[in-house]
Structure 1
Amino acid sequence: MAATSEHPAETPECPAAQEGGLLPTELRNWMVLLAATGAIEQRLGPVLKETLGISHDEFLVLCLLADRPDGGLRMTRIAELLGRPKTRLTYQIACLAHAGLVTRRPVCGDKRGVEVALTGKGRRLFTESSPALADVVVSGLTEIGPEERETLCGMLPEEADGEKR
């Protein structure tokens, strides 16, 4: 696993978090969220390369598939969920398939549709590496300062899905 000394000691302050600027609170909060997730991605990237030999975007595909024990996902749905262009996703899936981590198969009744699923090797590798990867995420979250933490917690609306939060 990559040494934590290679990573910044704390999450960099988001430049948009300055009061009195032009951004409304919601956009300022969004920038804090992006800064926090970006800091975690920077920590996670080298660990993913070292432990799984994959990129962060490829890891996101594996996460979506790992959360689907009943089967795979259509490539179009993966692209939607990740907000990635289908052409970029095709390349990432090809890399994962070449590594033996996923399979591609046609969707029954749709000659253009392709479903992607984890292989046995992909499941084993993901299961073995998940605790260490989760630790990297948790360590990144612990670096978030109190102001950023308050901002992130305050992003949820008071009422969502008809329930008080």
Structure 2
Amino acid sequence: MSDAGDPLDDAELRAWMAFLAAGHLMDHEVERQLKRDGGLSHPEFEVLVRLRWADGGRLRMSDLARQVMISKSRLTYQVTQLERAGLVRRTGCETDRRSVWAELTDEGAAALERVRPGHRRVVRESLIDVLSRDEIELLGDALGRVADRLRKR
């Protein structure tokens, strides 16, 4: 293992640059599809997905912020936009006056169902279909380790 301050070698630099390019291009493709099919931004889609997976279709705002990995202020903005569109509603927490729930509405669930087929198609065509099964597993393991390290910080 090298010192953290060492310059990147050719293979490391190539991996870093490919990671950046792929991430930006994937995000652009997903964003275009979500806007076209449902008028949603990528962060709004992530909020809807997390709420859909949550027990009862709702999460405390603080828990939702951790799951979508954005700041509380950015999440507040995203949820406000979704609330204005009728896709999410906020309610007070019965057991903790300081907490607020974000809850998926029926309209939000319907919007999510409208965009999901296109989202799956973009992910498959742009990422999954380009890789072998072994590469998919390796990528999942490798990026999972990166995410775990960063979450600990």
**TM-score band (shorter)?**
0.7 to 0.9
Q: CA contact under 8 A between 1:33 and 1:152: conserved in structure 2?
A: no
Secondary structure, counterpart of 2:97 in structure 1: strand
Counterparts of 1:1-165 in structure 2 under 5 Å? 22-23=7-8, 32-142=18-128, 144=130, 149=135, 152=139, 155=142
Q: Structure 2 unaligned runs (5+)?
A: 1-5, 146-153
- The one-letter code sitting in structure 2 at the alignment partner of 1:23 is L
Higher strand residue share: 1
Q: CA contact under 8 A between 1:66 and 1:123: conserved in structure 2?
A: yes
Structure 2 CA distance for aligned equivalents of residues 82 and 71 of structure 1: 15
Percent identity reads: 35
Q: CA contact under 8 A between 1:36 and 1:144: conserved in structure 2?
A: no
Cα distance change of structure 1 residues 120 and 141 upon mapping to structure 2, 3 Å threshold? same
Relative contact order (alpha carbons < 8 A, sep ≥ 6): 1 or 2 greater? 1
Structure 1 CA distance for aligned equivalents of residues 141 and 92 of structure 2: 44
Higher helix residue share: 2
Secondary structure, counterpart of 2:74 in structure 1: helix
Secondary structure, counterpart of 1:88 in structure 2: helix
Q: Structure 1 unaligned runs (5+)?
A: 1-20, 158-165
